[in-house]
Structure 1
Amino acid sequence: LRSLRGVKPIFNRRNLGYATACNLGMAAGRGQYIILMNSDLLATPGWLPPLLKTLRAPEVAVVGPRLVSPDGFLVGVGVVGTNERPVIRGWGEPDRPDLYNEPIECLSVCGACLGLKRELLPELGYFDEHYFHYFEETDYCYNARWHGYKVVYTPESKLIHFVNGSCRNRRRLNQYYIRSKAYFDQKWKRRFSAKQF
């Protein structure tokens, strides 16, 4: 990575968690837009321009692409529903061109690949580092919406996601999920009752 022009790798001595690692990268960067990507992604040709085009809209704070498993099933096309009852759209459905092919405003999008705006960091802040794994992106998306911005799924951008490719320990993943979900619920429950957003 060091040999790539314009790339500044950041190596952590230990696993600091997704939120902290992303925050270190966001703080070190200087670009107008921030693209956060998991290590278990494979980009397809032309994936980036649609994300950037969507991010240029002043009301959009977060954008997510269409995520497809290596065997051709959808694993990320946005979360819809209500704050109290979110619905993960399309999980496990075949990746067909007639499914989920329109941009849509969402509650949240998958954190495997997110587009953000640097200019909004002073207002929205960075990822909440109480999360080690899971719900970091959900929290950030909810925070963006709480502040009046939109979170948008952009199907023209497509990446292949090897789900949980960066951590194969199922027991540990389950523990992270339970801990993060409890923290997320505790943090946002009062806000849900105070204001619909």
Structure 2
Amino acid sequence: MIKLSIIIGNCNTYELTRNCIESIYKHKPNFSFEIIIVDDASTDNSQKELRSLEKKYKNLKTLLNIRNVGYVRTNNKGLNSSKGEYKLLLNSDTLVHQNTLQNLVDFAKKNKDAGVVGSKLLNIDGSTQESCYNFPTIWNVVNYKKFAPNSDAPIVVDAVVGASFLITPLSFKLIGNLSEKYVSYFEDLDYCREVKRKGLKVYYLPDSLVIHYHGESFKQLASSDNQWKKLIPSSIAYHGLFKHYLLYIISLCYQKYQKLLQR
């Protein structure tokens, strides 16, 4: 049986995807793995180039979407086609380090309560990237943001960013695919919330290092000025309509209050 399936979504980001794949083969683990690239109806030369990679790497396959369906359904298509015991959702704008994949799976095997394991994400300059979440509540919304745990040891967190997101066999059995209530954004928070509800844990693993060119894989989906608008339907799906607007109003009032204090 294949030990690990690595699912990478691609949408007009062929060069990033190719670099990501090359980093995997440069730092490949000592167990069997497959790479599944799902192209989300790219309009550049991605599909042609990805097909050529299939000839180069025997354990890589490409799936093509006829139309653009978004991040979640693209990754779910890869999950549905995967044969690995463990499933890793890996963004196309990432590069893995030595032992990144090995350490993820080894840790998950040893910790039977793990539902999701997230890598430590790094910026291009090697600095630590904020890659964990607390679940949003009315108490933390005014200062809500991602964070990077100050720990060199594995630590339990509420949620991890989906850029390098290992789903364990038990978690996949209990929860399955990403929820298609979402197109993109909030799907990682939602999955981690379901993991907690099933009595499993979400771990942040500092010795699994991944360089993340933050936001590059989503640039083709929306301009930076419009990306925030895509958060709104996902926030409503995650929180529900009432809580979404309650959190929005609390956050807005806090921002106005802060501006008054600065006068």
Tell me if both proteins adopt one fold, taking TM over 0.5 as the criterion.
Answer: yes
More helix by share: 2
Q: After the TM superposition, list the runs of 4 or more consecutive aligned residues in structure 1 that deviate by more than 3 angstroms.
A: none
CA distance in 1, matches of 2:151, 2:99: 18
Shift of 1:10: 1.3
Q: TM-score, normalised by structure 2?
A: 0.63
Kindly report which structure 2 residues correspond to 1:1-197, keeping only aligned pairs within 5 A, or say none: 1-3=53-55, 4-56=57-109, 57-80=111-134, 84=137, 85=140, 88-90=146-148, 99-168=150-219, 169-186=223-240
CA distance in 2, matches of 1:73, 1:182: 33
**Counterpart of 2:167 in 1: which secondary structure?**
strand
| Aligned-residue identity in percent | 28
> Residue type of the partner of 1:70?
I
State the partner residue of 2:15.
none
Max radius of gyration: which structure?
A: 2
* SS in structure 2 of the partner of residue 74 of structure 1: coil
Q: Which amino acid aligns with 1:72?
A: G
Distance 1:76 1:52 in 2: 22
- Structure 2 regions of 5+ residues with no counterpart? 1-52, 244-263
- Whether the aligned pair in 1 keeps the contact of 2:113 and 2:200 (CA below 8 Å) is yes
When structure 1 is superposed on structure 2, of 29-38 and 71-80 the one drifting more is 71-80
Segment of structure 1 superposing worse, 158-167 or 49-58: 49-58
User: What is the deviation of 1:83?
Assistant: 5.3
SS class of match (1:170)? coil
Displacement of 1:129 in angstroms is 0.9
Distance 1:183 1:46 in 2: 36
Q: CA contact under 8 A between 2:122 and 2:211: conserved in structure 1?
A: yes
Measured in 1, the distance between the counterparts of 2:77 and 2:237 equals 22
Deviates more, 1:47-56 or 1:8-17: 8-17
More RCO (CA 8 Å, sep 6+)? 1
Cα deviation for residue 7 of structure 1 reads: 1.4
1:16 Cα deviation from its structure 2 partner: 1.4
Partners of 1:53 and 1:26 in 2: how far apart? Answer: 21
SS at match of 2:54: coil
Q: Residue in 2 aligned with 1:192?
A: none
Structure 1 residue 72: deviation in Å? 2.8
| TM-score, length basis structure 1 | 0.83
